[in-house]
Chain A
Amino acid sequence: MLEVQIKKKLPHFLVDINLTVEDEILVLVGPSGSGKTTILNAIAGLDHPDDGRITLNGNIFFCDNEKPLPTQQRNIGYLFQDYALFPHMTVEKNIAYGVKKMNAIEAEKRIERLVNTLGINHLLSKYPHQISGGEKQRVALARALATEPSLLLLDEPLSALDSRTRLECQEELQRLHATWKTPFIIVTHDMQEAEKLGDKIIFLESGLITKTVDNRSGKMIC
């Protein structure tokens, strides 16, 4: 379970949130500049809150007055907006980048399974600039999942895709979540996407949670 209770001063407002995520898909919805990416970055350790506490399954990522756990040790998958695939590496090398060399055979099998699930076998020898937007999204997902993360963060993962590919990828994300059973946090400003993907939806505005909805029951939690 992920528990996040943080405060962070941004130039125009204060991000002040308190949320918990079980093995479910949490969607953060809000207009641009409402602090969504700041929250993901704080969880990933790419940016630190001013104060608060972040824990994942009891493992402390951040706590007041303590040295934050480095990003490298948080075991988090992060799918960046526009995917941030390494342009100088083939798809295969991109996916294998974070895989530990110690369990090579096991890792190879895991990558093979991922690649098959996402249907990207034919792309392995290609470079990111040689593949389409939807394919990049699948490669980025495979790369983020290849390290077997305990939590997957997705920042506007479908914003660069056309509507048909977007629909396919939404279904794929749900399938992957059903298989991996780890918490997913998805950031979006598309309400339809939030309703389709989220088990729980949190609405953000100027760094504050304005509404939390349990999407499975349709009930407003607060």
Chain B
Amino acid sequence: MTDYSPLLLSLKVAGISTFFVFIFGVFFAHLFSRKKFFGKSIIESLFMLPLVLPPTVVGFGLLILFGKNGFIGSWLLNWFDFQVVFTWIGAVIASIVVSFPLMYQSAAAAFESLDARMENAARTMGASNWRVFWTISFRLAWPGLLAGLVLSFARGLGEFGATLMLAGYIPGKTDTIPMAIYFAVESGQMEKATFWVVIIVALGFSTIMWLNWWSRRNIERYKNDNA
């Protein structure tokens, strides 16, 4: 009987990571799209760095940070007797770091392309900054935010390198689909590897198909206004 735990674990890891990535991505993208300050481009470059670095380098950095002697790792161990390395939480952290740039990039583009007059119009009508964000900026940027959310989820599902470095491969504990594929091939279980390849290709393909369909539909919706 097929063990579906890699699928469930992958969905759990990608889901939790996407939740955090979405919140932080939207927060920083909105903040940075409206403010100019010294060092902004340096911070933005740091945000985007995981996109261009090899995942093993990201994983190495996380291992240094979250390892027993690492800055965060030793603090977690001392205060909470908790270790991230070789746990599924490690996979979530790796997934957050590698998918954050995709969310940030999509959200920043969405907020920057917003017509500032919409927000200004809301302000002149007495709306608080939070209300302007929630009822105007967020709603109008939603297509871009959703694109970032879906891409981050897909990236989280496919994350391998950094996850392997931080969470390792422990069957039943940290074996996400990409891990299951790699170790199935390594141990000559081609049938098992093929099964998981088909599953992850189907998930990725349907995600992109849906995103394209949804984006087109959304562009059509307000196209007269944006013309």
Q: Which residues of A contact B (CB under 8 A)?
A: 44-46, 70-78, 80, 82, 84-88, 97-98, 100, 128-130, 143-144, 147
Contact = CB atoms under 8 A, between A and B. Distances in A.
A88 B117 CA distance: 15
A123 to B, nearest CB: 15
B224 A72 contact: no
B121 A87 contact: no
A45 B124 CA distance: 9
Contact of A84 (B118, B128, B139, B222): B118
Contacts of B125: 97-98, 143, 147
A76 B126 CA distance: 9
B24 to A, nearest CB: 25
Given A78-B121, A80-B120, A88 B222 contact: yes
Interface string B132-143: 000110011000
B35 interface: no
Contacts of B124: 44, 46, 71, 74, 76-78, 98, 144
B116 to A, nearest CB: 9
A144 B118 CA distance: 13
A95 B185 CA distance: 62
B180 to A, nearest CB: 42
A72 B128 contact: yes
Contacts of B135: 97
B140 A75 contact: no
A61 to B, nearest CB: 12
Contact of A98 (B126, B140, B226): B126
Contacts of A97: 122, 125, 127, 135
A131 B150 CA distance: 33
Contacts of B224: 129-130
11 contacts: A45-B123, A78-B121, A82-B117, A84-B121, A86-B136, A87-B226, A97-B135, A98-B122, A98-B124, A100-B126, A128-B225
For the complex of A and B, 8 pairs with smallest distance between CB atoms: A98-B125, A129-B224, A84-B117, A78-B124, A129-B225, A71-B123, A84-B121, A87-B225
A84 B115 contact: yes
Given A72-B126, A86-B122, A100-B126, 7 more contacts: A46-B123, A71-B123, A78-B124, A88-B139, A97-B122, A98-B124, A129-B225
B127 A98 contact: yes
B223 interface: yes
A143 B127 CA distance: 13
Contacts of B223: 129
A78 B120 contact: yes
A130 B224 CA distance: 8
A97 B139 CA distance: 14
Nearest to A140: B121
A72 B125 CA distance: 7
